[in-house]
Amino acid sequence: MKLGLFGFPVGHSRSPRLFARLATLIKKPISYEAVAVPLGTLAAAARLRRAAGWRGVNVTAPLKAEAAAYADRLTPAARALGAVNVLRFGRGVVGHNTDAQGLRDALKSAGVKARGKSTLVFGAGGAARAAGWALAREGARSVRFTARTASRARRTANDLRKIFPRTRFSAGAGAPAEIWINATPLGMKGFPDRSPAPKHLPSPEAAVDLVYGRRTAFQRDAAARGARVEDGAAMLVYQALRAWEFWDKPLGGRRRAALAGPLMKEVFK
Ligand code: NAP
C-alpha cells in the first residue's frame, strides 16, 4: 500500500520509521514517503499522489486545516475538531482525525483515568481541541483551556461544549486540576523549553505532555511537584495505528496494544 506524510517541514518526522516497522510487524508491503508540502499546495500534492495510486496520507503541521477544506467528506471526529490528520484517497477524499482517539488510547494504556476528573489543558490549538475531545469522551468532569490568546481558548471551549454537554468546559487562567495536558509546543525542538504551568498551582495527579521524545521543562516541573508524568510518544504511535486502520481495516484493541510496544521502541530508540 502506498502511503505518506504531508507537512512542512517533514525532515524530523518519525512516521517513515514507524510505518516501516509496522510493515514488518504485520507482514504487509507498505511504502511510506514524507513529502514537504508548503501551505497552500496540498491540493496539487494530493492530486499527484492520487494519480500515482497512493491510498492516503498523514497530514501534519501546518496543513491540518487545509486538509479539512480539501477533503470531499469529513468523519465526525474531523468535523468536530475542524482539523484533519489523515486523508484517505478513493473515488473521493475522506478526511479523518486520529489525534483525539490516539490520545484516548494512550491515556488508557498509561492507566490515566479521566472519568469524573477536573482537567486543565495548556494551549488552544488543534492538539488542545483533540485533548478536550478525548477527555470529554473519557468522562472528565471539567476541561479548562488556558492559552495566551484568551479568545482562542474561549472559542475552543465553546465549540466543544456544544458536542459534550455533560462536561463543563471553561477558558481562562490556569486553575487547580487533577489532570494536566500540555498541548502547547513549549519544549518541542525549536521552541523555548519552559513549563506553561503557573507556579502557584498545586500538583495534579497526572501530567501528560503531547510533546514526545524529550524530557521537557513541563515534564520536569510536574514531576518535581509530585505528579506522575507521561509524554506524547504513546499518542504518536496510537494515532498512527488508528490512521493505518482507517486506510486498511480495524486491528482490534488487543492487536493494537500489542503493536504499540514494539513501535514505541522503534521510534524512540
Ligand atoms: P498549535 O495549533 O500551534 O497550538 C499551540 C497552542 O499553544 C496555541 O493555542 C498557543 O496559543 C498555545 N501556546 C503557545 N505558547 C504557550 C504558552 N507559553 N502558554 C500557554 N499556551 C501557549 O499547535 P498544535 O498543532 O495544537 O500542537 C501543539 C503541540 O502538540 C505540538 O508540540 C505538537 O507536536 C504536539 N502534538 C503531539 C501529538 C502526538 O501525537 N504526540 C499530536 C498532535 C500534536 P497562544 O499562542 O495564544 O498561547
Confidence at residue 269, expressed as pLDDT on a 0 to 100 scale? 74
Give the catalytic positions in this structure. Answer: 64
Residue minimizing CA distance to atom 2 of ligand 1: 125
Q: Above pLDDT 70, what percent of the chain?
A: 100
For residue 185, the CA-to-ligand 1 centroid distance in Å is 4
| Helix or strand (DSSP H, E) at 182 | strand 179-182
The overall pTM is greater than 0.75:
yes
Residue minimizing CA distance to atom 3 of ligand 1: 125
In this structure, are residues 93 and 71 in contact, taking their beta carbons and an 8 Å threshold? yes
**Is residue 59 located within the same domain as residue 77?**
yes
Residue from 101, 104, 122, 148 to probe ligand 1 pocket by mutation (most atoms less than 8 Å from CB): 148
Domain with residue 12: its CATH number is 3.40.50.10860
Q: Write out residues with Cβ below 6 Å of ligand 1.
A: 61, 99, 102, 122-128, 147-149, 152, 183-186, 188, 196, 210-212, 232, 235-236, 239
For residue 1, the CA-to-ligand 1 centroid distance in Å is 32
Please give the grid coordinates belonging to residue 70: 480539501
**Is residue 227 located within the same domain as residue 106?**
yes
Domain count, the chain: 2
Upstream peptide bond of 192 is cis (omega within 30 degrees of 0): no
pLDDT tops 90 at residue 227 = yes
In this structure, are residues 144 and 173 in contact, taking their beta carbons and an 8 Å threshold? no
Q: Are strands 168-171 and 142-146 parallel, antiparallel or unpaired?
A: parallel
Domain with residue 164: its CATH number is 3.40.50.720
Residue from 60, 210, 230 to probe ligand 1 pocket by mutation (most atoms less than 8 Å from CB): 210
pLDDT band with cut points at 50, 70 and 90 for residue 267: confident
Confidence at residue 266, expressed as pLDDT on a 0 to 100 scale? 85
| pLDDT tens readout for residues 131-168 | 999 999 999 999 999 999 999 999 999 999 999 999 99
**Is residue 90 located within the same domain as residue 212?**
no
**Is residue 166 located within the same domain as residue 226?**
yes
Please give the grid coordinates belonging to residue 39: 501551505
Range of the domain at 63: 2-97+234-268
**Is residue 31 located within the same domain as residue 90?**
yes
Confidence at residue 200, expressed as pLDDT on a 0 to 100 scale? 96
User: Looking at residue 203, what DSSP letter applies?
Assistant: P
For residue 65, the CA-to-ligand 1 centroid distance in Å is 15
Q: Above pLDDT 90, what percent of the chain?
A: 96
Cα separation, 105 vs 178, whole angstroms: 19
**Is residue 200 located within the same domain as residue 171?**
yes
**Is residue 136 located within the same domain as residue 200?**
yes
Mean pLDDT of 185-210: 96
**Is residue 163 located within the same domain as residue 225?**
yes
Residue minimizing CA distance to atom 46 of ligand 1: 148
Confidence at residue 181, expressed as pLDDT on a 0 to 100 scale? 98
For residue 104, the CA-to-ligand 1 centroid distance in Å is 18
Q: For all residues of the chain together, what is the average pLDDT?
A: 96
**Is residue 211 located within the same domain as residue 247?**
no
Mean pLDDT of 258-269: 90
**Is residue 116 located within the same domain as residue 198?**
yes
**Is residue 25 located within the same domain as residue 11?**
yes
For residue 208, the CA-to-ligand 1 centroid distance in Å is 13
Confidence at residue 257, expressed as pLDDT on a 0 to 100 scale? 96
Buried b (16+ CB within 10 A) or exposed e, 131-150: bbbbbbbbebbbbbbbbeee
Residue from 10, 81, 154, 184 to probe ligand 1 pocket by mutation (most atoms less than 8 Å from CB): 184
**Is residue 108 located within the same domain as residue 226?**
yes
Q: Cell 489543558, residue? A: 121
